[in-house]
């Protein structure tokens, strides 16, 4: 702590532990210890120091009870430095060096130097005539010095000096007051946060058409099946305070399996058709959760006893989205119903069920030949099974009609296979000359017959290992960006950790390497989100036909961009890979799962509101309470087969 005193009517300036009296340079100077308050008053009242005052000081210094005289008659300094006595302090608190300043009459610093411990002044040469010499230290007098009358500044103490104890006490009071105000503010903020959380949870419950019977100390059980990094799901659920693990899906409240298990779906109760009406709840509660202005679902609310409720992570008819053939059929029907061209979102696609005998094959042949007849156009096609496939299995790149015919005529090991023949995107946007696709997540909740879809704001890019070329069609490391394919390449992870990029890294590449300046999150992201919204609107009447109590699902959507930054929907995965293959996925997937549970699990199974976080990374994009249901007729009665219906431990892409 610094203390400061400056008598404007004299040449006296006191700072911290020392004060200095200046006198004209022609007078002889000396220095010494002064303990008498009367003497210090005499010094303060004089603009120059008479000879008798110097004699008096000399007598004081030469008294036998004093320390050896500091009087140095040979000193050439023109200042009197009088150190003040200070209380005993620990050696580690004694300043190692003290800063001395020399100022002129205008207060401008002429010289400064450091004096070490025990050194009175660091200036060996005569000091030019000036008004004051000041010293900065970080120590002050103690109460003991003042009480004992040992301080030469006793009479002036109140003007410029406070004791250590009083300073500490004052500091403590100020700190305590600040801590009290800070603690009170924190408590108020926590209470406000708890109110917001409770209102948000109630809004979500209302949006699902449910209300929860209060339970003072509920205990919930979860079951997690093996596969697709189930250890991560276990870790997240075990961290929730009111949950414990069950080893049977039939005794659990929350059931999590890698693939849909029909026997579990069938034990879920069903609800009848509900007449609903929408009310506006565009207060800050629902927006705080979803960051969007939506509507809540009102029916009469169904009362749930949370400890007796089941929630399964698989929607009964998830194949309406995840099956390639069903996704194509549903999107075509939906876009036709709203007078939009589906092939502005989907690459040109043909669904072939019966090989060359299929009614769609002549259309495929005609379209293929029309492209072939145009000059300088490459004519590549992707052929993939319409069902029972994932991780890039069964996908072929074909450049001739003969290759396509051979592929769609192949036997399928006794299973009735259909094929999706899709135009290859021959002008993809590249990342450092390599192909990539975009993986994003959507959460669909079917609670109490109400469907709500949430789009996750963060996703990532999956890059290929080898440079893009249309000359080689059989190299999967060039054309397929699925992680299950790319990780078999010896160059996997050579360019990016796990062949993954964040949205921000991609934006940095666009800014620095691509001449067309595009903002991904402002221009591309909204288009992708709108396409995802359309997929839910196209299938909402089919996903949960029996209104199972209750289901939800996390879906992985894959998009590609062409060189004009247009997004194209490639496929939807019902079992997106949860492996943490790189640091980016380690944080992104973990947070995505935690946010999913907060959004769907916590409203159905309430916990202590203080532990909830309602600002999730999801954005509400669809709700049956807001969007009118469209009765879209299926053109053909296709067998219910889903990519996720195969009971295996194989992870999705």
- The pLDDT tens digits for 567-592 are 999 999 999 999 999 999 999 999 99
Domains and CATH numbers, the chain: 4-161 (no CATH), 348-424 (3.30.1490)
Closest residue by Cα to residue 398 from 422, 380, 376: 380
Torsion of the alpha carbons at 284, 290, 293 and 295, rounded to the nearest 10: -100
- pLDDT, position 634: 40
Tokens of 393: 């299995």
Helix ranges, 239-391 (H): 262-267, 284-290, 319-322, 324-337, 361-372
534: left (phi over 0), alpha (psi -120 to 50) or beta: alpha
Distance CA 159, CA 157 (A): 5
> Running DSSP on this structure, what letter comes out for residue 599?
I
Closest residue by Cα to residue 522 from 562, 463, 565, 563: 565
Closest residue by Cα to residue 220 from 251, 181, 185: 251
With tokens 């099946």, the residue in question is 225
- pLDDT, position 198: 66
Distance CA 329, CA 430 (A): 29
Residue 641 has pLDDT above 50, yes or no: no
User: Percent of the chain, pLDDT > 70?
Assistant: 58
Q: Which residue has the higher pLDDT, 317 or 303?
A: 317
- pLDDT, position 587: 96
Q: Confidence class of residue 492 from pLDDT cuts 50, 70 and 90? A: very high
C-beta separation of 301 from 211 below 8 A: yes
Q: Confidence class of residue 6 from pLDDT cuts 50, 70 and 90? A: very low
The residues, any chain, with a CB within 8 Å of residue 623's CB and separated by 6 or more, are: 207, 294, 295, 297, 450, 451, 452, 453
The crossing angle, in degrees rounded to 10, of helices 583-596 and 230-238 is: 50
Tell me the pTM.
Answer: 0.68
Q: Confidence class of residue 559 from pLDDT cuts 50, 70 and 90? A: very high
> Running DSSP on this structure, what letter comes out for residue 524?
I
Tokens of 104: 């002129």
pLDDT per position as a tens digit, 391-410? 667 899 999 999 999 999 87
Residue 487 CA: distances (Å) to CA of 325, 492, 568, 582: 27, 5, 24, 12
Q: Confidence class of residue 178 from pLDDT cuts 50, 70 and 90? A: low
Q: What angle do CA 415, 420, 421 make, to 5 degrees?
A: 130
Mean pLDDT of 230-234: 97
C-beta separation of 302 from 211 below 8 A: yes
Tokens of 110: 């002429």
C-beta separation of 503 from 528 below 8 A: no
């Amino acid at each position: 702590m610094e203390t400061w005193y400056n008598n404007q009517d004299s040449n006296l300036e006191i700072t911290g532990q020392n004060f200095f009296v200046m006198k004209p340079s022609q007078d002889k100077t000396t220095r010494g210890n002064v303990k008498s308050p009367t003497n210090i008053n005499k010094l303060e009242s004089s603009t120059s120091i008479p000879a008798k005052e110097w004699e008096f000081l000399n007598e004081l210094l030469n008294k036998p009870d004093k320390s050896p005289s500091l009087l140095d008659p040979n000193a050439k300094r023109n200042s009197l430095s009088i150190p003040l006595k200070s209380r005993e302090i620990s050696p580690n608190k004694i300043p190692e060096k003290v800063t001395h300043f020399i100022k002129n009459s205008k207060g401008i610093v002429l010289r400064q130097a450091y004096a070490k411990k025990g050194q009175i002044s660091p200036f060996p040469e005569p000091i030019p005539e000036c008004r004051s010499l000041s010293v900065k230290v970080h120590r002050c007098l103690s109460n003991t010095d003042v009480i004992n009358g040992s301080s030469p500044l006793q009479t002036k103490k109140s003007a410029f000096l406070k004791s250590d104890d009083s300073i500490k006490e004052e500091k403590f009071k100020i700190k305590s007051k600040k801590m009290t105000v800070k603690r009170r503010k924190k408590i108020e903020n926590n209470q406000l946060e708890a109110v917001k959380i409770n209102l948000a949870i109630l809004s979500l419950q209302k949006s699902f058409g449910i209300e929860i019977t209060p339970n003072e100390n509920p205990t919930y059980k979860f079951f997690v099946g093996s596969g697709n990094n189930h250890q991560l799901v276990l870790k997240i659920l075990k961290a929730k305070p009111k949950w414990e693990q069950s080893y049977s899906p039939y005794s659990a409240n929350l059931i999590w399996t890698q693939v849909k298990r029909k026997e579990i779906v069938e034990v879920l109760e069903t609800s009848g058709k509900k007449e609903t009406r929408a009310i506006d709840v565009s207060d800050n509660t629902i927006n705080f959760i979803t960051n969007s202005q939506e509507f809540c679902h009102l029916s009469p609310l169904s009362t749930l006893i949370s400890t007796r409720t089941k929630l399964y992570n698989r929607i009964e008819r998830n194949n309406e989205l995840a099956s390639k053939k069903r996704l194509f059929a549903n999107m075509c029907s939906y876009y036709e119903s709203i007078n939009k061209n589906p092939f502005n979102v989907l690459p040109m696609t043909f669904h072939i069920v019966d090989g060359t005998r299929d009614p769609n094959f002549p259309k495929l042949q005609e379209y293929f030949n029309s492209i072939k007849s145009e000059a300088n156009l490459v004519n590549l096609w992707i052929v993939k099974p319409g069902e029972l496939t994932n991780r890039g299995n069964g996908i072929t790149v074909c450049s001739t009609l003969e290759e396509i015919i051979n592929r769609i005529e192949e036997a399928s090991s006794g299973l009735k296979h259909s094929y999706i023949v899709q135009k290859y995107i021959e002008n993809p946007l590249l990342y450092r000359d390599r192909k990539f696709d975009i993986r994003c997540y959507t959460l669909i909740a079917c609670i109490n017959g109400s469907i709500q879809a949430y789009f996750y704001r963060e996703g990532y890019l999956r890059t290929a290992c080898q440079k893009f070329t249309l000359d080689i069609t059989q190299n999967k490391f060039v054309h397929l960006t699925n992680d299950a394919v790319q990780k078999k390449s010896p160059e996997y992870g050579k360019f990016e950790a796990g062949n993954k990029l964040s949205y921000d890294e991609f934006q940095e590449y666009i800014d620095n390497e691509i001449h067309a300046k595009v903002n991904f999150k402002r221009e591309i992201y909204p288009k992708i989100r709108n396409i995802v919204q359309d997929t839910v609107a196209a299938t909402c009447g089919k996903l949960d036909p029996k209104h199972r109590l209750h289901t939800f699902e996390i879906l992985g959507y894959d998009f590609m961009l062409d060189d004009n930054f247009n997004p194209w929907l490639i496929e939807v995965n019902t079992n997106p890979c949860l492996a943490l293959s790189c640091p980016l996925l380690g944080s992104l997937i973990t947070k995505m799962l935690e946010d999913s549970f907060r959004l769907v699990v916590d409203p159905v199974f309430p916990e202590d509101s203080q532990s909830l976080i309602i600002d999730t990374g999801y954005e509400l994009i669809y709700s049956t309470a807001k969007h009118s249901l469209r009765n879209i007729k299926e053109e053909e009665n296709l067998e219910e087969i889903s990519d996720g219906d195969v009971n295996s431990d194989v992870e999705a892409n």
